[in-house]
Structure 1
Amino acid sequence: MTEENYRRETNRKAPFVQMRGGHPSYFAVCPACGNPILICNLFKRTDGSRSANPYGRHYSASVPGVADYDETAYMFCPLSRNHSDPGNTRRTPTDKAGRELYALMRDQFDRYVYIWEKTTGLHVGRGYARELLSMWRADEGWRYYRASYFNQSFMLFYAAPAQNLMGRYLLVDGPLHCYLKKLQIKSIRFTPTRMDGYVRVDRAEGHGFVDLSFLIHDQSPVMRGEHCVETYRLSVCLGDVRFEPDLKLVLDTGFLDSLMAKDDSHRNRTLLDMAADVLD
């Protein structure tokens, strides 16, 4: 958070700037839980602040025009100091934050897929993308309190059953490709593809049916200074045998913002049209 980007996003006007006690207060919306936050140290140091740099602090009341306060969402917010694990707790069907997550998945689906591929190295083709999106819709994935605008790329997989790895395309020397090579699974091989820089997970010669799958789990927020990332574990199973240790993945919570700051020339219209169709 800087003075410049706050000015750019809010124009320093109401409802984000409100007079309280004769002084201006600067508000925004928490990207993780959708609650109002008070921006401290933005234009001058706030009394009693814990840092000299600008930062957001949850505001425990609704701010008209900005956001309504949701105590449950705050309790589960990964950016709050004493957050709890939300488990499978869900928002109500009419929850405003949930509806916004649904709209974001529809409007930013291509970017969520891009974030997933860059973070894991696992390619999501058109058929697989539609399958994942359809599962997410059927499960009403936007209602989970653990879902936020920056982590929906992983929420596509989080509540899903174990996913087949056979026939999937992997980025050469990407996180998942490197992990599988270290496991030295004799029943699989990596076949070059026409897609530059990618290999396909195939059955090794001399082997029959191979049941190789993966599962995403163990979401955990981690603070790195003033910046929050989320870590996940990816488990790989061969039949009923689970390999140890899991692959640890780190999701940069600022990834989506960096993509949204770019122009639309890089957008994937095929994925956007698909999302508009599935999430009509």
Structure 2
Amino acid sequence: MDQFKLKVGVAPAYQITRKNFEEQTLKKTPYVQKERNRISNYAVCPKCDNPIQIVGLQKNTSEAGRKPYGRHNKGSIANLATYSEIDYQDCPFSNPNWKKSNGKRPAGSPLANKMLATMRSEFDIIIKIMRQKTDLGISRNLARKMLENYMLDEGWLYRQATLNNLPWILGESSPAIPLFGQFIKRESGLSQAIHTNCEQVVLEASPLTDNYVQIRNKPGKFINLSFIFYNHHQEIINDGMQESIDFLVFGKNQEHVDVEIFRKTIPITENDLIVAIQKYGTNFRDESLLEIAKEIID
């Protein structure tokens, strides 16, 4: 792997370089330890929250010229991270031939429990990220519906779920959701696609904000528009994870066949959630969304 964290849970990930490691850890324990006449460097895996050892930080590794990298440490590191075999087995960096798999983690996964707790404590920020990336003005009722689907489908146990991609696992765990009555961002690619391709739809001005319009039906017309999140792609390339998910809006044409109205591939980068938490985590909290998360998850 080519990135590390300083602690378990939602935390920034850094590229593995000597400068980054020494600057972030200040070469203190538990990150730097003397063991059997050698110095070992430790950190936390950004994907599975297990401890990792940083290899080749001071010199090139035995693989000629290979840059420093992280590998899992099959044991706990005191005051840093507790080793979980369950989460190691599902980690994309657990073996060089890893392929994205479906299915669910065992219920005893420490990482899964952290993800559920984070969904509860940061639900409003997770919804804010989804609004910003999709131009869909997710209402409180829609947010509630999506969280109920997440709980029904045990989204926190998805094998592809991580602490960082929580917004998109929330979306992925829902079946198709109707767009009738929903708000979308004015002058966005989404609103333009619907305006151009859906003759039965009118985009009405929102009484609450100039930034959004509401999807309504024209008199005598019936709206058949829905959206899904799907095609969650994860791939290891050059020791790093490439990740994305598709946001798709579709509806029926005159022949009653489902056709694509709008599609957006959303890149998922390692620090999306922590950056949003740092930006909004103290101020701008939506207490009504946090109450919904508390009610449903508790």
Q: Note if 1:139 corresponds to 2:165.
A: no
- For the residue of structure 2 that corresponds to 1:264, the secondary structure is coil
AA partner of residue 7 (structure 1): T
Q: Note if 1:105 corresponds to 2:119.
A: yes
Work out which of the residue numbers 165, 180, 184 in structure 1 matches 2:179: 165
- For the residue of structure 2 that corresponds to 1:114, the secondary structure is helix
Counterpart position of 2:225: 212
Contact 1:111–1:259, Cα closer than 8 Å, also in 2: yes
* Aligned positions, number: 271
AA partner of residue 266 (structure 1): F
Q: Note if 1:82 corresponds to 2:97.
A: yes
Work out which of the residue numbers 36, 43, 46 in structure 2 matches 1:31: 46
Partner Cα distance (1:177, 1:59) in 2 = 45
What pairs with 1:264-279 in structure 2 (closer than 5 Å)? Answer: 264-279=282-297
Partner Cα distance (2:267, 2:218) in 1 = 30
What pairs with 1:242-261 in structure 2 (closer than 5 Å)? Answer: 242-243=259-260, 246-261=263-278
Contact 2:134–2:247, Cα closer than 8 Å, also in 1: no
Q: Note if 1:186 corresponds to 2:199.
A: yes
4+ residue runs of structure 1 moved beyond 6 angstroms? 223-227
Partner Cα distance (1:108, 1:267) in 2 = 9
AA partner of residue 278 (structure 2): A
Counterpart position of 1:12: 28
Partner Cα distance (1:215, 1:45) in 2 = 47
AA partner of residue 264 (structure 1): T
Counterpart position of 1:197: 211
Partner Cα distance (2:150, 2:192) in 1 = 28
Counterpart position of 1:94: 108
Q: Which moved more, 1:31-40 or 1:119-128?
A: 31-40
Partner Cα distance (1:177, 1:18) in 2 = 55
- For the residue of structure 2 that corresponds to 1:274, the secondary structure is helix
Q: Which moved more, 1:195-204 or 1:160-169?
A: 195-204
Q: Tell me by how many angstroms 1:163 deviates.
A: 0.8
Show CA shifts across 1:192-229 (max 9, x none): 1122311111113441x222111111111367888645
Work out which of the residue numbers 129, 134, 139 in structure 1 matches 2:143: 129
Counterpart position of 2:11: none
- For the residue of structure 2 that corresponds to 1:231, the secondary structure is strand
Q: Quickly say closer, same or farther: Cα 1:257–1:29, change in 2 above 3 A.
A: same
Partner Cα distance (1:5, 1:257) in 2 = 19
- For the residue of structure 2 that corresponds to 1:195, the secondary structure is coil
- Could you tell me which runs of 5 or more consecutive residues in structure 2 were left unpaired when the two chains were aligned: 1-13, 15-19
- Could you tell me which runs of 5 or more consecutive residues in structure 1 were left unpaired when the two chains were aligned: none
Q: Tell me by how many angstroms 1:174 deviates.
A: 3.4
TM (norm. structure 1) is 0.82
TM (norm. structure 2) is 0.78
Q: Tell me by how many angstroms 1:272 deviates.
A: 1.9
Name the % identity: 22
Q: Which moved more, 1:257-266 or 1:172-181?
A: 172-181
Partner Cα distance (1:242, 1:73) in 2 = 40
Q: Quickly say closer, same or farther: Cα 1:188–1:107, change in 2 above 3 A.
A: same
Q: Tell me by how many angstroms 1:176 deviates.
A: 2.9
AA partner of residue 135 (structure 1): N
- For the residue of structure 2 that corresponds to 1:266, the secondary structure is coil
Q: Tell me by how many angstroms 1:100 deviates.
A: 0.8
CA RMSD after TM alignment = 3.0
